[in-house]
A and B are shown apart, each in its own frame.
Chain A
Amino acid sequence: AQSVAQPEDQVNVAEGNPLTVKCTYSVSGNPYLFWYVQYPNRGLQFLLKYITGDNLVKGSYGFEAEFNKSQTSFHLKKPSALVSDSALYFCAVRDGADKLIFGTGTRLQVFP
């Protein structure tokens, strides 16, 4: 069965520092991987996806993610964090029925 794991409940980083939010996956076949962000009391906003091609994927708001097949990881990164990046981040994988399977989420807190 497809699954994703986000090992960190919360990540704290100072504004201006690089950030990484971790995600590992378990799938059969080629993975379709996604990152979404959720602000309080809001729905999810799409950040980026990996379907095929270049392992480094660039997305919205300066975020990027690196697909690593050997480590089955898809970590979300940003070179310089902003206070406004503070939110809940979800990694997801799409299964064969086009359903999204979400990780448990990681709360990112960026301190001024």
Chain B
Amino acid sequence: GAVVSQHPSWVICKSGTSVKIECRSLDFQATTMFWYRQFPKQSLMLMATSNEGSKATYEQGVEKDKFLINHASLTLSTLTVTSAHPEDSSFYICSASWAGGPHEQFFGPGTRLTVL
């Protein structure tokens, strides 16, 4: 149980285009979803926290207008990287949890974004 999927698993796009990444909880209702960014051989950096039906809360230094997060349902959150540039190339990972559930977060498999 507690499976989280991400789509796509990898994406290559041209500079200036926008890319949408989906995060789905497959067998539970995720009241909270988290988006992380991971650079090669580095730890995970939390970008934002989203609660279903509410605006996402962004961490300091993360551009809200560049990384649009939507959590419109209890099973789906999306991260849209707008006007992507090569420096946005990274591994993006989502996780999910639910109110009253286990204390751990359940992670998706990640999405590798390469911006040319």
Interface on A for B, CB 8 Å cutoff?
32, 34, 36, 41-46, 49, 51, 90, 94, 97-100, 102-105
Contact = CB atoms under 8 A, between A and B. Distances in A.
Contacts of A44: 44, 93, 95, 107
Given A90-B43, A102-B44, A43 B32 contact: no
Contacts of B108: 43
A99 B103 contact: no
A45 B107 contact: yes
B42 interface: yes
A98 B42 CA distance: 22
A99 B105 CA distance: 9
B50 to A, nearest CB: 12
A36 B36 CA distance: 15
Contacts of B93: 43-44
A78 B42 CA distance: 24
B97 interface: yes
Given A94-B103, A98-B32, A41 B44 contact: no
Contacts of A49: 102-104
Given A43-B108, A46-B104, A104 B43 contact: yes
Given A43-B109, A99-B34, A90 B103 contact: no
A45 B95 CA distance: 11
Interface in B15-35: 32, 34
A90 B43 CA distance: 8
Interface string B86-116: 0000010101010000111111111010000
Nearest to A48: B104
Contacts of A46: 104-107
- Going nearest first, the 4 A-B pairs with the smallest beta carbon separation are A43-B107, A44-B107, A43-B109, A43-B110
B103 A36 contact: no
Given A43-B107, A100-B34, A100-B95, 9 more contacts: A34-B103, A44-B44, A44-B93, A44-B95, A46-B105, A46-B107, A49-B102, A49-B104, A103-B43
